[in-house]
Amino acid sequence: MVDAALPFTPRGSATDADRRAATDAVARPVVVQLRSVRKTYNPGTPIATEVLHGIDLVIQRGEFCAIVGPSGSGKSTLLNIVGLLDRPTSGMLAVCGKETTSLDDGALTRLRGHSIGFVFQYHNLITAFTAIENVMMPMLGAGEFPNDAMHTRAAVLIDAVGLKRWQDNLAGNLSGGQQQRVALARALAMDAALVLADEPTGNLDSRSADEVFALLRRFNRDHGTTVLFVTHNAVLADRCDKTIEVVDGQITGS
């Protein structure tokens, strides 16, 4: 279990006990809310394209949701907006109870850093850094924690994803599955309430894909971490609590 050894809980985030209690509660807090969200790329130009056409969505704390749909339907665009990496063209987005549309870039960056972890199809690790250094990166970026606390927490997370023996290996020397597990540990470094995973298993063999999925599931169950998981893998989607289907920029089922 990771919980017992966690050396700190970053400011502004719920404790693990809070999350478990919330997960058990009947009315769970809303982690993500979108109302009439639209996204147009290149607005005001001849190549303007609206790719999200008024999305309404509510995700509660502790939910583990698959996001499915054909290529080009808008899944990554939706995830980038929920992850505060891009802004909606119109509509309302709240993350962890905070309405985001009026926030400036600095406030968005702080909210993202404290509340959201990311895992992408390609791990985006710094290959010249060790596994443990990669996991420390989000904490270093926040600039709020002592070095020994960052190192201890990163070591706990590396152990939790089964890579203790490899923690001091350069990320570039690890296998694809191991690199994705480091990326998962990095996504959890700030004790994020929300993890956004964009096809994290898409580039892995089926055994590594199962391992990464099982780890995400375990963190979801043990810590109440809310997970949005974009996948083309129908078997893994079936193992999620709920499926959100995006077709032509609209949600068609859940």
Q: Where on the chain is the footprint of ligand ADP (CB under 6 A)?
A: 41, 49, 51, 69, 71-77
Looking at beta carbons only, is 218 or 232 nearer to ligand ADP? 232
The distance of closest approach from Cβ of residue 155 to ligand ADP in the complex, given in angstroms and rounded to an integer, is 34
Looking at beta carbons only, is 76 or 134 nearer to ligand ADP? 76
Alpha-helix runs per DSSP H in the chain: 16-24, 75-82, 105-115, 131-142, 147-160, 176-187, 206-223, 234-238
Beta bridge partners of 245: 68, 253
CB atoms within 10 A of CB 12: 14
CB atoms within 10 A of CB 243: 17
Beta bridge partners of 22: none
The distance of closest approach from Cβ of residue 42 to ligand ADP in the complex, given in angstroms and rounded to an integer, is 6
DSSP letters spanning 97-112 = TEE-TT--HHHHHHHH
Q: How far apart are CA 228 and CA 223, in angstroms?
A: 15
The distance of closest approach from Cβ of residue 247 to ligand ADP in the complex, given in angstroms and rounded to an integer, is 9
Q: Which residue from 102, 105, 81 is spatially nearest to 194, judged by alpha carbons?
A: 81
Looking at beta carbons only, is 52 or 216 nearer to ligand ADP? 52
The distance of closest approach from Cβ of residue 10 to ligand ADP in the complex, given in angstroms and rounded to an integer, is 30
The distance of closest approach from Cβ of residue 28 to ligand ADP in the complex, given in angstroms and rounded to an integer, is 27
Looking at beta carbons only, is 118 or 219 nearer to ligand ADP? 118
Tokens of 151: 């190192």
Looking at beta carbons only, is 3 or 248 nearer to ligand ADP? 248
